[in-house]
Structures are given as structure tokens and as C-alpha cells.
Structure 1
């Protein structure tokens, strides 16, 4: 029907297909060999084009444009002029998405309006969900990851119903070895590794962060990749957050792919509260503490000891007993009997499930493991009571790995006091982690009741036999030994009779 745009060295047309007595609109993308590429490059790109187009025909879900057909044929020509054309063209036929591209769609939104802020975050949530799905391998029967490779506002369409759809799955990412770099990526949305011809799920995540910056600011992201993380941290909605949270959000656009969070859905949840919950006009970024462009390195820990020796173990035991005795005296001397007072400032001094010895009292049918203070924990990493997210499921009651240094491994032990039969929980690597796996082991009175590997976005529901055990120990380690294990979350850990 007519030309509607250009992407890279391809021309995009709106066309119609005669179907069942009517016509249906489609989009046709054409790469013409008469353009700047050589015959050898055309053959190489043709092979990749065909392979990727066949792969995309397996992908069926809202949020991803459907691929109808691909073929090699004559260049586009007027009727009756086929004898005069030379060369060959690659043709990709896709479903037509009737709507606005993200750039035009954003121009109609006002971030000062709560309804428009919610719309923007809803669009980011849709894109995050579909990208996580494509990267997970669930989109193809073989479990193969699907990468967009050239994510930008021009490659996202939003229809009248608010459905965001990724389009232009085709040429750009398939030609990373083609050396016309200024054509094959969109400035401001390309991760640093794209300049070396690398396209991975991490490059899509970086580009997603650039899209988020565009939607939240209305401005194009910095063309220099190293500046984007700082630009996101300086957004009015983000700048008022505490330094740790700003750094976590800005990490999505880190120059180092290993530092980028693996779950875009969890990242959007982190941002949503800042953007939607508090009106923009009541924020004053002048009161926000500055965030350094490069986070300071963590202090180097002294040599780690994985296990306490017999003498140190005895000393530690004496200290624990002495501390518990002091707490007991304080509780007995409390004339008001106020159960809400804090013991050591960490947790309620008296819980229905806690006994004076720090072990779980089997006075009720079930109790959360989070109500027990660890009887022992490793020197540099352990579990703290906190909140976590596993495969987009939020757990407000959880044990979360913690410690003052980059985590290599950790453990915590709990005195159960006997009388319990099962420990149930959902265990996994938190969605916010930049590392995909962890190994965990659970022992009761020195005997293993569960050991295995945990993977991000694939939490394991566990029901473990603790059979009147008195000592529970949970340990974990980074299988890559990079000392960079992300949060390990034990969601809703519950002891039952």
C-alpha cells in the first residue's frame, strides 16, 4: 500500500493480504541487496534471517508481534517492471499492530498526573513481563532464549487498549557481524557490549532501562552508555530514595552485564512504588543524599573461617547463654509485661513461639521460623528476617541472606527444642539477584534433609521432615565461587507439628 518507515537498511511497508473474501493489513519489511551491503554479506544475513524468522514463528503471545512469512525474492517494483529489476531482497511479513509507537505514545502523557504515571508503569510492566518470558526459554519448544537485540521506543507499539507489543524482531540483531555499526543499533539504547557485536538478554535489559528512563523523563537517554546509570539515579522519582535502593535501580544500566538484575519484572516493582505511590510535586530532590557514580568497593573481609574451633565454639556458647540470661532477667523485671518491647533492638522480646532458651516452643500447632533468633551463624553471611520476591511472588515474611561483605557462602542454626514434624517454605534465588543460582543444604541434628541447587525465577516449594529435631542448620554457597551471590530468600518458613 505504501512505505511507512525505515529500519537499518530495510524499508518497511504497509500491505494487505486477500483473505477469505476480505483484506487483512500486514507489515512487510524488505532488505534490498542493491543497498550498501555486498553479495557475501547478503548471503550471510539471509541465512541468519531465515533461521530467526523460523524461530519467531514459534512465539505466540500478546506483547510479541506475530511473524506470518519470510522469503527471498525480487526487490520491490511497480507492476509490469519485474524484468527491469536486478538483485534480490529478503522479505519478512508480520502482523500489523494498529497504534502508536512508544515515542508518540509518551508525548501524549503528562507525568505530573497520577493516572498517566500509572499508565506508564503499566506499560513498563507489560514489557518487563514479555522480555522475562522470552529470555527464560519458555517461548520456544526447545527452551531456546529469544533476544530482541534492538529494543527502543520505535520498536514498541501501544494499541488503543493499552497493550504494548514488541515489533521489529528481524534484521537488526541478526547482523551484529555487519560492520556498519552506526546503522545497526539505536543510539542511547545500545549496551556497551553491542559495540563489540554482542547481543544477549543482558543487552535487552540495558535497553529496557533506557526505555524506562525515556518514559520517566520524556528525554532521550544519554548516547554514551556509561552515563545512563547516573542519569536514572538522578531522576526526580529515584533521587529521593535511599542510596542502596538507587544503586540497585541504576544497576540495570551498568556497563558490566554481570551487574544487571536478571528479572525485569522485579526491577519494575522496585521502581513502581517510587513513581506511583508518592505524587511527584511533593518531592524535593535537594534533600536526597548524593549517589556516587561508582559505588565504593566493599571492605575486604579478613580471612574467613567456615567453622568455629572447639574452644571458640565453647566461648560462643557461654556468651549466648549469658546474653539470654540477661534478657530473661530484664523480662522478669518488666512490671508492665509489655510484649512489644525489643530484646537487643532486633525482635520482640517475648513471642508466643519463643521460649526462654531461644528455641521454638511447641505450644502451638505451627510457628514461623522468622520468630527464632539464630542460635549460631557464620562469620560473614547468614539469614536475617526480611522480605523477598520469588518468581514475582512477594513474601513479606521470609528469611533473606545477609552480611557485611559480598556473599560467598553463609549459614544460620536454630534451636528447635523438639516437638516439630515438618518445616515448609518456598526457597529460591530472589528475583533481584544478579546471579542466577545458589546451592543450599538443610540439616537437622547433623543429618541432611535437603540439598540442591536453586535457580532464579524457579523457586522450590519444600516440605522437610524435621522429626523432633533439636538443631536446624541452613547453609548456602555461591556455586560460581565469585563471592557475589545475590539475595537467597526462604519464603514463609513455617514449623508444624
Structure 2
């Protein structure tokens, strides 16, 4: 008989409910795992986000974090729409442990279980394309339109019964999945960032996709819009965006499809990376519509990417930055 070396998590009533297959990412103090849930004798894939508190939290802080995760996970359960990952459950339980050994675990963890999304993350999806053909450029625009529609919906207050604005908080290529039908889905919402204008004690972000105010721990719809502009730059160029506002504005203006547009339209597209959050566009759908005119109508040879798109830079793991 093969020995089971797997680790498990689950609520107190079923501590071995989810078998953790492998780690697939990390954000702040939390780790993302591809996991399995056994149903009627068959294993169904899910993603489990685990906040392990063994070394990082006092009892008082754990109680606050548990209440916060619970409230915000419940808020995520309201978000039913194509393009947003589904949430199955959240619970407090033993940290990852061998089967049958939950009671021996030295501490507790907070867990959020999400549906598994088949497909490629946006970085891998972009690596398979050069955007040389109109068809590939239309694919890229379709992806941006889908993401813009979802983000505008989250920011509008229509996503929740109370009209509460929802912020993703960590928009980056690694947090967007594209399936075989071309549907883009936002995944891994930062639980500590779900409320708008939330000031967090620890600052975690993906370099190049963070607005200036995120360095101070402040996230808002405007910060999501900045990240979206950086994501658009990545998707069109195949390169990671620069870290600063002015550099991103300059790089956007130099994209071949944007450079040939009228100056006023270039300025409107650059506004997504404005250092002042109040000056960023209110509607990402409108912003993409302005971008579409350049991407689909520019025909000069200079607007066509080279035969081999620039190789995307290796993904950089989110890291803490000191409060400024």
C-alpha cells in the first residue's frame, strides 16, 4: 500500500477535507495551493488559499484577522459573474497537516477555498502570441475588454446588494487566467484589500503593477485602474511594465499602436498611469475603446511587432515594501 505523504486542511468538522497537491503561488502571508476535494469517489480540483499563523500572529491579531477574513470571504461570495473566480467556502482550522493529525497541529490557519480555473495565466498566454496578426490583436483586445467590464462592475457597486465598491487589489498577469474559449477570469482577490480605500499594515504587491499609493498600503478603484493600464502595456508589448508612473506613461505612448494616434488621444490613454488617482479614467471600458482605435486601425509597418515578441521577464513574487 502506498504511503500518503500529502498534507491536508479542512474545517474542524472535517479537518482532512482538502488534499493539498502543490503550492502554486504566494501573496503576503498566504500561500495558494492546488488541492483536491473527493466527491463520490472522484477528486475535484480546487484552489485553497492558506494563511498560516504559526509564526506571525498573536492570539489577538489572529482573532481580528479571522473576523476580517470571514467578513470579506462572505463578501466575495456575492460576486457571481463570468470573469470572477467562484468562492466555495472559508474556515478556520489546523494548518496543513498529514491525514489524521489535525489535533496535533500547533496552531490554526485561515483558509479560503476557490474554484479551480482551467487554462493559462496571462503571462503564459501572452508568451504564446506575437500579436503580428489582426486575429491575435483582436484576441488581446477581447481579453482587455473582458477584464475592463468586470473591474468597472466591481467598482460601480453593482456587485453587492449593499452597493459596496469592491477592489481587486493585486491585478497582475499571474492573477488572470484565460481558458480555452478565451474567457479571462480574475483570481486570487487580496482578502485584505477587498474594501475600497483600505489602508493595510503590510504592503504586498506585484512590482510594476502597483500605483504609487499602493506603496503606502492604500488600495482603491483608482489603484486597480493603474494596474489595468500596466496590464495592458504588458499584453501589448510582451514586457513587464516599469515601476514608476512617468516611465509607464512614456512606455504607453511609445507603443506603436498608440504613438500614431492624435496627441489628445495619446494623453487620454496615458492618464491611466497618472500619479494622481483622481485623474485616472473612471471607466476602463471607455479607455479600452480608445485603445482599440489604435490597435485595430494602425496599419504602418512600424506598428507591427517583430517576428518574435519580446520574451516576458520572469514573474516576480510579490514582496513587502516599507511604509513611506
Kept in 2: contact 1:25–1:96 (CA 8 A):
yes
Which among 61, 78, 84 is matched to residue 58 of structure 1?
A: 78
| Pair 1:234-2:254 in alignment | yes
Kept in 2: contact 1:188–1:223 (CA 8 A):
yes
| Counterpart residue number, 2:179 | 159
Question: CA offsets, 1:346-400, max 9 Å, x none?
Answer: xxxxxxxxxxxxxxxxxxxxxxxxxxxxxxxxxxxxxxxxxxxxxxxxxxxxxxx
- The gaps in structure 1 that reach 5 residues or longer are 285-497
| Counterpart residue number, 2:288 | 268
Which among 68, 76, 86 is matched to residue 88 of structure 2?
A: 68
**Aligned partners of 2:258, 2:61: CA distance in 1, in Å?**
44
Which among 233, 254, 258 is matched to residue 274 of structure 2?
A: 254
Q: Report SS of the residue matched to 2:218.
A: coil
Q: Report SS of the residue matched to 2:226.
A: helix
**Aligned partners of 1:136, 1:78: CA distance in 2, in Å?**
44
Kept in 1: contact 2:93–2:109 (CA 8 A):
yes
Q: Report SS of the residue matched to 1:248.
A: helix
1:86 to 1:232, Cα distance in 2 relative to 1, 3 A = same
The structural deviation recorded for 1:114 is 1.6
Question: CA offsets, 1:440-489, max 9 Å, x none?
Answer: xxxxxxxxxxxxxxxxxxxxxxxxxxxxxxxxxxxxxxxxxxxxxxxxxx
1:135 to 1:254, Cα distance in 2 relative to 1, 3 A = same
**Aligned partners of 1:265, 1:196: CA distance in 2, in Å?**
28
The structural deviation recorded for 1:35 is 4.2
Q: Give the superposed CA RMSD.
A: 2.0
Structure ranking higher in helix proportion? 2
| Counterpart residue number, 1:7 | 27
Q: Report SS of the residue matched to 1:274.
A: helix
Kept in 1: contact 2:230–2:248 (CA 8 A):
yes
The structural deviation recorded for 1:116 is 1.1
Say which is worse superposed, 89-98 or 220-229, in terms of deviation: 220-229
| Pair 1:194-2:214 in alignment | yes
**Aligned partners of 1:174, 1:132: CA distance in 2, in Å?**
15
**Aligned partners of 2:90, 2:233: CA distance in 1, in Å?**
34
1:139 to 1:57, Cα distance in 2 relative to 1, 3 A = same
**Aligned partners of 1:277, 1:236: CA distance in 2, in Å?**
12
- Equivalenced residues, count: 282
Kept in 2: contact 1:8–1:172 (CA 8 A):
no
Structure ranking higher in strand proportion? 1
Kept in 1: contact 2:157–2:166 (CA 8 A):
yes
- The gaps in structure 2 that reach 5 residues or longer are 1-19, 305-324
**Aligned partners of 1:143, 1:232: CA distance in 2, in Å?**
33
**Aligned partners of 2:227, 2:159: CA distance in 1, in Å?**
20
Kept in 2: contact 1:56–1:67 (CA 8 A):
yes
**Aligned partners of 2:29, 2:128: CA distance in 1, in Å?**
30
Q: TM-score normalized by structure 2?
A: 0.82
Q: Report SS of the residue matched to 1:25.
A: strand
The structural deviation recorded for 1:170 is 3.7
Q: TM-score normalized by structure 1?
A: 0.54
Question: CA offsets, 1:29-54, max 9 Å, x none?
Answer: 10100244554443333222111110
1:160 to 1:35, Cα distance in 2 relative to 1, 3 A = farther
1:280 to 1:185, Cα distance in 2 relative to 1, 3 A = farther
| Counterpart residue number, 2:313 | none
**Aligned partners of 1:64, 1:238: CA distance in 2, in Å?**
29
Question: CA offsets, 1:130-174, max 9 Å, x none?
Answer: 111111111111111111011111110001110000000243525
Question: CA offsets, 1:49-105, max 9 Å, x none?
Answer: 111110111110100000110011110111233343212111000000011111111
| Pair 1:42-2:62 in alignment | yes
| Counterpart residue number, 1:222 | 242
Higher normalized contact order (CA 8 Å, seq sep 6+, divided by chain length): 2
Kept in 2: contact 1:237–1:280 (CA 8 A):
no
Equivalences for 1:479-494 in 2 at 5 Å?
none
Which among 71, 78, 95 is matched to residue 115 of structure 2?
A: 95
